[in-house]
Every structure is written in C-alpha cells, then in structure tokens.
C-alpha cells in the first residue's frame, strides 16, 4: 500500500514540476518491471481517468530508450540527419550555500528540469570585513535550508587583500552543459580576482573505462 501511495505522490509531483495537468495528458506508459503488478495500473487509472497504455515492454523500455539516445548522439557527432529531437534537463537543482540574515540557505542558480545547456549568474556579497577567502560550496538539492542537500564541489576565491570591506560584490556563474559538466566561475570585479572549477555530474565511468568500452565497440 505504501508503494502505491508513493507512485501517486511521485506522479503528482512530476506533473506539478513540469506545470502539466492530468487533463493535458494523452496517455500513460508503464515503464519498469514493477509496473506489471495489476494494482499499479488500476490505481493510476483510477487517479487519472486515463486508460493505461501497455504497448511498450515494461522490462525493456529503458534499455530501448538508452539505445535510441546512443544512436542520436552518434548521428549528431557524425553530422548525419536524424528525425529525433531530444531536450536534456537537469534532474536536480544546483545551487550554493549562502548566508542570509546570519542563517545558512540554499541559493539555487539552476532549478531542476531546466533545459540544457544553460548558464545562470547570481550576485552575492562578502560576509565580513577583512574576509580572507570566499568558499563557494556547490550543492545539489531543493531544501531551502541547505541541510538536506548534497555537496558536489567547491570553488575558492582567495587569499583576499587586507582591508576588503564586508558587502563587496561577488559574482557567481553556473554553466551546465548536456554532457553533465558543471562549470563554476566566481569573481570579485572590484579587485579583479576570479576562480573557476569544473565538476563532472552524470558520468559513471572513468576516462579509462570509457576508452576500453569504445575500443571493444569498434573491434
């Protein structure tokens, strides 16, 4: 019963995130072996009023999608024509930990489900006089308090010059591309100081592992 409730909760949240109403849907496709349970289809049909489409293989749909996407990438790399259009989005919000009225907050620069590639810039300020460094803690997640988020990297500005006053402008830019690389650039324009760091997000294989698989595929 609790898994059925989670299914409805997840479906409702997804529709809310993409600003779509149930009345906007034309069909519902079931993906994943667990959706073979009759109770899943019955509950979704009851909640949405739509007939559940079982035309796809629930066990194989994800693999088929991955194969189609791989073909799309190969066509794109080799400049071959394709009739497939794909829009990549980021699955989690990306931001940094900041202070607001002495309280730690998660300041989001790129909300989840933003189309990629994207670049977003936000302005911050130094916290105190004679501050020696500015540490940009890059985090993934939506919790406004910054407590329940995942830190994925850091960008450090410093050492800062003596006498720098509190409230000095700090500009931070996040650039997120389709391959999953997040580039963070932090700058203090008034003193010409900047720092840059690249964070890889989506790759599960190391460069050596990818090279081995690519060699196998071409043999």
What's the pLDDT score for residue 144? 93
What's the pLDDT score for residue 121? 97
CATH of 2-55, one of 3.40.50.800, 3.30.420.40, 3.10.180.10, 3.30.428.10: 3.30.420.40
What's the pLDDT score for residue 18? 82
Q: Which residues, other chains included, contact 127 with Cβ-Cβ below 8 Å and sequence gap of 6+? A: 99, 166
- 72: nearest Cα among 87, 84, 57: 84
What predicted TM-score, i.e. pTM, was given to this entire model? 0.73
What's the pLDDT score for residue 117? 94
Segments of the chain assigned to CATH 3.30.420.40:
2-55
Residues of the chain with pLDDT under 50: none
pLDDT digits (tens, 9 = 90+) for 134-157: 999 999 999 999 999 999 999 999
DSSP run (H or E) holding 72: helix 61-77
Tokens of 9: 């909760």
Segments of the chain assigned to CATH 2.60.34.10:
94-200
What's the pLDDT score for residue 219? 62
Task: Give 218's Cβ-side CA count (13 Å radius).
Answer: 6
| CB neighbours of residue 117 within 10 Å | 12
CATH number of 94-200: 2.60.34.10
Contact 52, 30 (CB under 8 A): yes
What's the pLDDT score for residue 203? 53
Instruction: Return phi, psi of residue 75, to 5°.
Output: -60, -40
């Amino acid at each position: 019963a609790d898994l059925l409730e989670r299914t409805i909760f997840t479906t409702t949240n997804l529709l809310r995130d993409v600003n779509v109403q149930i009345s906007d849907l034309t069909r519902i496709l079931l993906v994943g072996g667990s959706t073979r349970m009759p109770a899943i289809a019955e509950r979704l049909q009851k909640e949405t009023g739509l007939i559940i489409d079982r035309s796809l293989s629930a066990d194989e749909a994800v693999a088929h999608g991955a194969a189609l996407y791989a073909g799309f990438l190969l066509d794109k790399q080799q400049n071959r024509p394709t009739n497939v259009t794909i829009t990549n989005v980021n699955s989690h919000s990306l931001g940094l930990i900041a202070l607001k009225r002495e309280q730690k907050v998660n300041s989001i620069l790129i909300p989840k489900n933003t189309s990629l590639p994207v670049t977003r810039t936000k302005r911050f300020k130094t916290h105190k006089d004679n501050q020696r460094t500015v540490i940009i803690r890059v985090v993934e997640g939506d919790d406004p308090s910054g407590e329940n988020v995942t830190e994925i990297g850091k960008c450090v500005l410093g050492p800062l010059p003596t006498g720098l006053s509190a409230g000095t402008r700090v500009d931070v830019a996040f650039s997120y591309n389709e391959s999953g690389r997040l580039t963070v650039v932090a700058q203090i324009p008034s003193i010409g100081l900047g720092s840059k760091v690249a964070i890889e997000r989506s790759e599960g294989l190391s460069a050596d592992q990818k090279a081995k698989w690519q060699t196998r595929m071409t043999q």
